[in-house]
Amino acid sequence: MEKKNLDWANIGFGYVQTEKRYVSNYKDGAWDEGVLTEDANVVLNECAGVLQYAQTCFEGLKAYTTVDGRTVTFRPDMNAQRMFDTAKRLEMPTFPKERFVDAVKQVIKANESYVPPFGSGASLYLRPYMFGTNPVIGVKPATEYQFRIFTTPVGPYFKGGVKPLTLCISDFDRAAPNGTGHIKAGLNYAMSLHAIVSAHNAGYDENMYLDAATRTKVEETGGANFLFVTKDNKVVTPKSSSILPSITRRSLMVVAKEYLGLEVEEREIFKEELSDFAECGLCGTAAVISPVGKIVDHGKEICLPSGMTEMGPITKKLYETLTGIQMGKIEAPEGWIVEIK
């Protein structure tokens, strides 16, 4: 497969239009058969449900080139399931899970020249999403929807080396106890924009959100889950029904237990405990793990012992093992790596 002549190391994380995208429409209670198209534009009625009442959800996953030159993607069945769960909560039609995985494969195959070569550190990001298309003015779910997947090549996340992040504990809430924090709805991001812009203006990289009900427990950031490492090398992650179940975080917990032989635990984590941890990382598809160096709680600085220059030792092992699995250097658990043929 002839690759595009792109400057893979410097493409960053932005939209680069590629050749083909997948589109399927839902009407009269059924999805059509779906097609690959070259048309990157979506034309909608002015009153479309998505434009009036934000009925939209999305997913995110990547395709890579492995060390032996295969094009693969990582656990697309998990994204299919999560989008299924999200659609139910938003009163949207579910997209069949096996069709989701098939569409992912089709769209990667059709844009294979944009899957960056092994060793570039870059990858092809896939964005599946769904939105209400027909006119809706009274508040109710749309009856017609579009499901799409586009792809865009993205550069290496840790370009120029790893830089541990500084977080601030936010005064804004990300998710209500019985709200939509556990699903990948666009609305969760719309309402987080003011909080992230405010954090950036104050000099922080990310927000640490607390549980909205008591504001005593750690939840997540705007787009990544937390992993903490205790001083006796146990890997812990917050347990809450309002956290988005990150596929990266769930995979890293398996890696910690099965590959590194570490004790793992999903439990409530109190803000008061933060100063007891040895390491902290943010988990998500974009970076796999970004190390956190400092957390600021209204002027009080909590400095992680792993410091502000590198990943902590356990975070690093987790990162190297999971990326090794994704790149085909380390044997993967059954079903994690899906080859595009």
Distance CA 149, CA 154 (A): 16
Q: How far is the CB of 93 from ligand PLP (least distance, A)?
A: 21
Minimal distance, residue 61 CB to ligand PLP, in Å: 7
Does position 225 interact with ligand PLP (CB under 6 A)? The reply is yes
**Which positions are catalytic?**
184
* Binding track over 41-80 against ligand PLP, x by CB under 6 A: -------------------x--------------------
Residue 93 or 223: the one with the smaller Cβ distance to ligand PLP is: 223
CA dihedral 269, 271, 273, 278 (to 10 degrees): 90
- Which of 136, 227 has the CB closer to ligand PLP? 227
Contact 54, 190 (CB under 8 A): yes
The binder of ligand PLP chosen from 122, 169, 199, 247 (CB under 6 A): 247
165 CB-contact burial (10 Å; exposed 0-12 / middle 13-18 / buried 19+): buried
Q: How many residues bind ligand PLP (CB under 6 A)?
A: 14
Cβ partners under 8 Å of residue 161, min gap 6 = none
Contacting residues for 28 by C-beta, under 8 A, at least 6 apart: none
Task: Kindly tell me which residue out of 112, 219, 220, 279 binds ligand PLP, with binding defined by CB under 6 A.
Answer: 220
285 binds ligand PLP (CB under 6 A): yes
Q: Show the site string, 156-185: x = touches ligand PLP by CB under 6 A, - = not.
A: ----------------------------x-
Q: Give just the sign of the alpha carbon dihedral 44, 45, 49, 53.
A: positive
CA distances from 102 to 97, 177, 218, 338, 339 (A): 9, 34, 37, 11, 12
Q: Indicate the pairing of strand 264-267 with strand 235-238.
A: parallel
Question: Minimum distance between the CB of residue 211 and ligand PLP, rounded to whole angstroms?
Answer: 14
Give me the least distance between CB of 307 and ligand PLP, in Å please: 25
Closest CB to ligand PLP among residues 80, 247: 247
Nearer to ligand PLP, 27 or 127 (CB): 127
Question: Any idea what DSSP says for residue 185?
Answer: B
- Positions that interact with ligand PLP (CB under 6 A): 60, 184, 220, 223-225, 244, 246-249, 283-285
